Amino acid sequence: MSPNLLIWLDGKLVPESEAKISVFDHGLLYGDGVFEGIRIYNGRVFRLTEHLHRLYDCARAICLTIPLSFEEMERATVETVAANKLRDGYIRLVVTRGVGSLGLNPYQCPKASVFVIASTITLYPQERYENGLHLITCGTRRPNSAALSPQVKSLNYLSNIMAKIECIQAGCEEGIMLNDQGYVAECTGDNVFIVKNGRVITPPISAGALDGITRRAVIELLGEMSVPCAEQNMTRFDIYTADECFLTGTAAEVIAAVQYDRRPIGDGKPGKLTQELIKRFKTLANSTGTPVPYA
């Protein structure tokens, strides 16, 4: 972190060293809250409106009242980027339940807390963007969507963290998480796509996949390219036998996966369609978005 980093915290921009929340905040005590990860490209916030709609939907789903209007949240996000003079980077927008008692009752938290971090991020080494990722199947399953919708980006990310630990211990950067029926849901932090015989397939939201903003953008790009894309249940066999595989995510952007469970995917190199999508996504990201007015 930069020593000069400014954090937007409950209405004020404060130095990172002064950005603190209470130990009684239910976001800390119980993981009770929601968040969004958003990218900044070339002085523009990528798909800010879509990210904020998802944030407010997530909050509504868990009965969490955000103490800012949509427009105020938009201004706070852009203001934080401008204050840190970022033209390319990453935003983490967090809404916690707020300070309350040590009990579970969220209604004893009178007001939610909001903070916005705008900084830089490097998710994977550059060589992986050039040569592709290695994946494993994680033993940790995605929680049943009947218990908590995968569309809620809650602060409790423990299942994803445990799956990420498995990846790291196996010497991989990412892994495939299955749902309780054994179908592919998503990766620990990214959505997954495969290419087979010129057709693209990605797991449906009902399988436990997050309706990712980058996922949506890539599906739009595929439509512009007239490449057929279907959302359907996917098994490990489908990835083992795919011609190409790639992942999408706000932090990851678009990146190839070239090995799964120590088996090469296709010819073991980033595929042509994946490389074209990476190129087109970079063009899209660097030419659209909410402009940031820098002082």
Supply the residues annotated as catalytic.
Answer: 153
> If you ran DSSP here, which 8-state letter would residue 140 be given?
S
Alpha-carbon gap, residue 250 to 294, rounded angstroms: 23
* Tokens 């997954």 -> residue: 192
Distance CA 239, CA 278 (A): 20
- Give the contacts of 125 (CB within 8 A, at least 6 positions apart): none
Residue 3 corresponds to which tokens in the numbers above?
């020593």
DSSP state, residue 292: P
Q: What's the sign of the alpha-carbon dihedral 153, 159, 162, 164?
A: negative
Q: Give strand pairing partners of 246.
A: 193, 256
The DSSP symbol for 12 reads E
Cα 270 from Cα 275, distance rounded (Å) = 7
